[in-house]
Structure 1
């Protein structure tokens, strides 16, 4: 059973989408941490290779963790796969009015545009946009 959980964690790490907004803090680190007691090898991060000397080796971490409840761990893996497959948004479909409130119908559309643009902005563009938000143009 533990090898099955290790394989599932490894598969999750391989297919989990990259976080464009916070590349320095990916969710895959949490998945790696959960999989360490089962023998899952962490994905090497380019930015972390320099800081590896400051952290404990994965074998040391996995030996210090308490043994996990296999049934609980399988439920955790299933929850991660359900998030990855977007089961809940398919099961509980939102009405169109939720994403287009009468007070600001374009709010979520503009928010998604900003989220898509954010990783591509330079530092200066981000600062200018931050200043624009503080000044009210009428």
Structure 2
């Protein structure tokens, strides 16, 4: 890979990562700690990190681009549910004989708890960071 080709592909690769990350679904159970945020920070950090000059720079750039392309392809497969389609779960697995409604009840319970926490969070505002920091003991 030539230097000009490599330098042109880096911004394109970065934009491709951001497009895939923007398609990533939000996690309603952990709104402050989710995969989308972790992916975005990891990609930003990876693309900002300098190349090491120990191998002359060019081999390192080419290998990092190749690794990034492999990672991008894996993320794209996950966001397009390729593995879910390739390896579908059988109905027997989703409805075990011992408790056929287990997973549907679990999903309902998680949805109710998430809605309850979101509803409670709307009306409540806790102390700010500085209020906590400068709070005096009573």
Normalising to structure 1: TM-score of the pair?
0.63
> Does the 8 Å CA contact 2:94/2:103 hold for their aligned counterparts?
yes
Q: Would you say the 8 A contact 1:99–1:108 is kept in 2? A: yes
- Given that 2:22 and 2:36 are in contact with CA atoms closer than 8 Å, whether structure 1 keeps it comes out as no
- Structure 2 gap segments, 5+ residues each: 1-8, 53-60, 121-138
Query: CA 1:86 to 1:14, structure 2 compared with 1: closer, same or farther past 3 Å?
Result: same
Deviation at 1:34, TM superposition (A): 3.0
Which of 6, 16, 38 does residue 14 from structure 2 map onto? 6
- What is the aligned-residue RMSD (CA, Å)? 2.3
What is residue 84 of structure 1 aligned with on the other side? Answer: 79
For 2:50 and 2:110, the matched residues in 1 are separated by 39
For 1:106, the equivalent position in structure 2 comes to: 101
How far is 1:84 from its partner?
0.8
Unaligned stretches of 5+ in structure 1?
Answer: 39-61, 126-138
CA distance in 1, matches of 2:51, 2:100: 49
Name the CA shift for 1:105/1:65 in 2 (closer, same or farther; >3 Å). farther
- With over 3 angstroms needed to count, the CA separation of the structure-2 counterparts of 1:70 and 1:63, relative to structure 1, is closer
Of 103, 111, 114, the residue aligned with 1:116 is: 111
In the alignment, the residues of structure 1 paired with residue 34 and residue 51 of structure 2 have an alpha-carbon distance, to the nearest angstrom, of 22
Tell me the number of residue pairs that the alignment of Structure 1 and Structure 2 aligns: 101
Taking structure 1 as reference, are residues 117 and 64 closer, same or farther at Cα in structure 2, changes over 3 Å only?
farther
Higher gyration radius (CA): 2
Question: 2:26 — aligned with what?
Answer: 18
